[in-house]
Amino acid sequence: MKKLNVIYLTLVLSLTSNLNFSCLAQSWNDEKIDSLINLMTIEEKIGQLTLFTSDWATTGPTIRENYLDDIRSGKAGNIFNAHTAAYNEKLQRVAVEESRLGIPLLFGYDVIHGYKTIFPIPLAEAASWDLNLIEKSARIAAEEATAGGLHWTFAPMVDIARDPRWGRVAEGSGEDVYLGSLIAGARVRGFQGKDLSSPNTLLACAKHFAAYGAAQGGRDYNTVDISRHALWETYLPPFKSALDAGVATFMTSFNELDGVPASANTYLLKEILRGDWNFQGFVVSDYTSINEMVAHGFAENERSAAMYAFNAGLDMDMQGAVYYNYLKELVDQGRVSVNDIDTSVKRILKLKNALGLFDDPYRYSDIEREKSVILSEENRTAAREIARQSVVLLENKNNTLPLSKTEKIALIGSLADSPIDMLGSWHGSGQSTDVISTLKAFTDQKMNFEYAKGSDMEGSDTSLFREAVDKAKNADKIVLVAGEHFNMSGEAASRAHIRIPDIQIQLLKRLLALHKPIILVLINGRPLCLEWESENMAAILEAWQPGTMAGLAITDVLYGEYNPSGKLPITFPVDEGQIPVYYNMKNTGRPMDPDQKYTSKYLDIPNAPLYPFGYGLSYTSFQFSQPSVDKTEINNNDSLHFSITVSNTGSVAGHEVVQLYMRDLVGSITRPVKELKSFKKIYLEPGNSQKVSFTITPDDLKFYNSDLVKIAEPGEFLFGIGNSSDVELNLKVTLK
Ligand code: NOJ
């Protein structure tokens, strides 16, 4: 830090006369940043536009091995996949004390759902429908990550995803624009807090801009070909919401849009992001996505790719080394302007400054804070809370659940004893040794049970079946923990058949032959096709990949310590042949009629999914009164007030998510059959009732017309309130 200031002081003094040097050790203003840029060579400027991975972890091809030399020479201004207070301090010292200008490094990392205390995967967190909890999870992740030397997370991932074959559905908030947008904002607020200069806040990054979730066939990195209207209506709103919450950075996506890869897409980066949205932060590419424009067939070579990307407004190159290799040459040839480079450098330096790195580049490397914050009791308790609130009860025949502690349980399945698989595919620096598995939770809490592995997660070895069947024979109920291992979802993990692997199903069938109630606890990173399971299981708990506290959260729900309240943030199909299937589809010109051949349907499977968006059961029962609305006709500036009374008619307390859906019956652009417009999560003791109110403003009636202008068109609207997207819309309102 001393060298940093001395160098700045000397160099700045020699070149400028109007700076207030007394505040050099405090946050820098724009002029000071400009004067620093004036001191930089073109190589040093390009260094600030360059992000290299350390050799600690990689999520793609590793290109550079000598990143320390690059830091020293000022050619790498940003590093990712390096963490811990000690290691990052070591790297920071190289930048600050050994590089010519001593500009601090920015350290990035994929802190997607926790740093060391791992929370449920984002899709699971979305199932909690609890924005405060989701914000808190991001806040804790930021506290831990910053204590581990980090400044920047590559999160939130805000891609709307409607194809469960795509492994990256695990990382987002599901299929819905409204829910996804609210969660995007909550996560940004959680990561960034109120003040970026506070040492426990991180820069967030809205990714992947844009429409990555629309990869054809759910195959990762595949082509995207959607209408402009779908882009604005479905894929952009969560990004806008992240922006409105103050997100500091954006990451481009791997896919093309309108035939132009996102990393060189001027429509996305210049017209929308910088133009319409006036975004002030910086944009980073995804891992080698600039280089990949050659394979896309968009750029003839990496030099051109660098030029197209930079000129389209992409500030920072992640791991591709194409800015590093070609930008100077492109400047010399007059194909890239130095002014534009200065603008990008300034965006990056401003954020380094906002983090307080010019005041103290080591402020995020505090070993004492690292020890006290990471995996603290408080953080683990919060992780347990959100994990149990993320669990969705899909089936519960004859009130099989909750279990009673007197019942003898056969706990079966390799996933009951596989800590790493509880963490999901992006588990940051989370360790399997910190995870409480279901087996451990059962053991520690001295449940009345016997455990058998039963089978591996995949393969064909049936040799362990017998032991599992024998143990199950002695039990009152069977709890089978089954599903996907952590690498079956996430990046580069698309699946054509989204089912529980066959060996686990074979085991399940053997257990079923015992005619005992089976409770299936699902561990998975995406919706699965569960038609057979829904018919044959006594109960199904969707636990997703619940994180560090997995076993405790699952046990809390199984034994009724927590009454499940999760609601699906994404539709579960009956069969892969239905995909894409999501609740707010269009009606079509020939809506499904089972008695009419020439209507929109399949001959061999139904149109309706197995479990719709918004669905989830509880151990209690909730009764919804007839909803009411205060007006049946409104003008463009009237609001609507809806209310409904919800009663807990069962015998235990519980949360319910009360959901309001709308349909705009006629539009100049056809409207979906349902759109979620509002929701409230309430808590009711048995026998209690609560009146739940919603206000719908004229803004909520708007959609993008063919000129991509948001308007509300006069006509009839239907509304309904219920506990899933299956609700009937029975309140009619006319907009005059
Ligand atoms: C590629 C992924 O697409 C992106 O989400 C991630 O942030 C980067 N790799 C860095 O790990």
The 10s digit of each residue's pLDDT in 500-529 is 999 999 999 999 999 999 999 999 999 999
CB-ligand 1 contact for 286 (6 Å cutoff): yes
Nearest-angstrom CA–CA distance, 241 and 179: 11
CB-ligand 1 contact for 484 (6 Å cutoff)? no
User: How many Å lie between the centroid of ligand 1 and the Cα of residue 657?
Assistant: 33
The secondary structure of residue 617, as a DSSP letter, is B
What 3-state class would DSSP assign to 395?
strand
Contact of 287 with 190, CB cutoff 8 Å: no
Bridge partners (DSSP) listed for residue 315: none
Distance CA 237, CA 378 (A): 34
Residue 66: the pLDDT is 76
Count of Cβ atoms closer than 10 Å to residue 121 Cβ? 33
The alpha carbon of 287 and the centre of ligand 1 are apart by a number of angstroms equal to: 6
Alpha carbon 700 to its chain centroid, in Å, reads 24
- Both tokens assigned to 680: 């409230």
- Side-chain-side CA neighbours of 429 within 13 Å: the count stands at 24
Using a 6 Å cutoff on CB, does residue 152 contact ligand 1? no
Mutate which of 153, 287, 318 for ligand 1 pocket (most atoms within 8 A of beta carbon): 287
Q: Which atom of ligand 1 is the closest one to the Cα of 319?
A: 10
Angle between helices 322-332 and 302-312 (to 10 degrees): 80
Domain boundaries, the chain: 6-61+75-369, 388-561, 622-735
For ligand 1, what atom is nearest to the CA of residue 157? 5
CA atoms of 514 and 505, how far apart (whole Å): 15
Find out whether the beta carbon of 171 lies less than 6 Å from any atom of ligand 1. no
pLDDT at residue 18 in the model: 29
Query: 388-561 maps to which CATH number?
Result: 3.40.50.1700
Measure 156 CA to ligand 1 centroid, in angstroms.
11
pLDDT value, residue 67: 84
Q: Which atom of ligand 1 is nearest to the CA of 59?
A: 11
Question: pLDDT tens digits, residue range 668-703?
Answer: 999 999 999 999 999 999 999 999 999 999 999 999
Radius of gyration of the chain from Cα atoms? 27
Distance 59 CA to ligand 1 centre (A): 7
Q: Is 366 near ligand 1, meaning CB less than 6 Å away?
A: no
pLDDT at position 28? 87
Going 93 to 94 to 97 to 99, the CA torsion angle's sign is negative
- Whose Cα sits closest to atom 7 in ligand 1? 154
Pocket test for ligand 1, best of 111, 203, 251 (most atoms within 8 A of CB): 251
**CA distance between the termini of the chain:** 65
CB 242 within 8 A of CB 153: no
The CATH number for 6-61+75-369, chosen from 3.20.20.300, 3.90.1010.10, 2.40.10.10, 3.90.79.10, is 3.20.20.300
Q: Half-sphere exposure of 548 toward its Cβ, with a 13 Å CA cutoff?
A: 27
Q: Which long-range contacts (CB under 8 A, 24 or more apart) does 1-8 make?
A: 1/96, 1/360, 1/361, 1/362, 3/96, 3/97, 3/102, 4/96, 4/102, 4/103, 4/104, 4/358, 4/361, 7/100, 7/101, 7/102, 8/36, 8/101, 8/102
Closest ligand 1 atom to the C-alpha of 58? 11
- Between CA 405 and CA 434 the distance in angstroms is 26
Distance 58 CA to ligand 1 centre (A): 9
What's the rounded Cα separation, in Å, for the pair 262 and 253? 6
**Ligand 1 contacts CB of residue 168 (under 6 A):** no
CA–CA separation, 166 vs 291, rounded Å?
A: 23
In angstroms, what is the span from residue 364 Cα to ligand 1's centroid? 23
Would you say the CB of residue 59 lies under 6 angstroms from ligand 1? yes
Tracing tokens 């003094």 back to the chain, one arrives at: 13
Residue 132 region, left (φ>0) first, then alpha (ψ -120 to 50), else beta? alpha
Q: At residue 51, what are phi and psi to the nearest 5 degrees?
A: -125, 120
Closest residue to atom 11 of ligand 1, CA basis:
59
Residue whose Cα lies nearest atom 1 of ligand 1: it is 287
pLDDT of residue 264: 98
Q: What is the structure's pLDDT at 58?
A: 52
Ligand 1 and 110: CB distance under 6 A: yes
CA distance 93 to 362: 8
Kindly report the protein residue whose alpha carbon is nearest to atom 4 of ligand 1. 286
The closest of 272, 296, 206, 200 to 243, measured between CA atoms, is 206
- With beta carbons less than 8 A apart as the criterion, state whether 249 and 282 touch: yes
Cβ atoms of 633 and 640 within 8 Å: the answer is no
315 lines ligand 1 (CB under 6 A): no
Known catalytic residue at 286? yes
Give which of 715, 735, 722 is closest to 631, Cα–Cα. Answer: 735
- State the catalytic residue, choosing from 110, 163, 286, 366: 286
The alpha carbon of 194 and the centre of ligand 1 are apart by a number of angstroms equal to 26
Q: How far is the CA of 286 from the centre of ligand 1 (A)?
A: 6
CB 316 within 8 A of CB 78: yes
Q: How far apart are CA 716 and CA 733, in angstroms?
A: 6
**Reported CATH class of domain 622-735:** mainly beta
Asked if residue 207 has its Cβ within 6 Å of ligand 1, the reply is yes
| Residue to substitute in 169, 203, 286, 494 for testing ligand 1 pocket (most ligand atoms within 8 angstroms of CB) | 286
Q: Is the CB of 154 under 6 A from ligand 1?
A: yes
Q: How far is the CA of 574 from the centre of ligand 1 (A)?
A: 31
Residue of 220, 491, 494 to test ligand 1 pocket, by largest number of atoms within 8 Å of CB: 491
Regions of the chain where pLDDT drops below 50: 1-3, 5-7, 9-26, 61, 63
Please report the DSSP string for 509-548 in residue order: HHHHTT---EEEEEE-SS----HHHHHH-SEEEE-----T
709 C-alpha vs ligand 1 centroid, how far in Å? 33
pLDDT in the model for residue 27:
74
Give me the residue label for tokens 């659940």: 401
DSSP state of 233: I
Alpha-carbon separation of residue 326 from 311, 337, 432 (angstroms): 13, 13, 42
Q: Are 429 and 148 within 8 A, CB to CB?
A: yes
Q: What 3-state class would DSSP assign to 380?
A: helix
Cβ within 8 Å of residue 333, ≥6 positions away? none
Rounded to an integer, what distance in angstroms lies between the CA atom of residue 127 and that of residue 113?
A: 14
Partners of 675 in the β-ladder = 662
Q: How far apart are CA 518 and CA 360, in angstroms?
A: 57
Peptide bond between residue 402 and the one before it cis (omega within 30 degrees of 0) = yes
Question: Tokens 């309706």 correspond to what residue?
Answer: 608
The residue nearest atom 3 of ligand 1, judged by CA position, is 286
Q: At what angle do helices 377-390 and 550-558 cross, to 10 degrees?
A: 50
The CB of 287 under 6 Å from ligand 1? The reply is: yes
User: Would you state the pLDDT for residue 109?
Assistant: 97
Which of 53, 59, 111 has most ligand 1 atoms within 8 Å of its beta carbon, as the pocket-test mutant?
Answer: 59
Cα diameter, the chain: 86
Distance CA(169)–CA(148), nearest Å, equals: 27
Residue 546 corresponds to which amino acid?
Answer: P
d(CA 108, CA 206): 13
Distance from Cα 157 to the centre of ligand 1, integer Å: 10
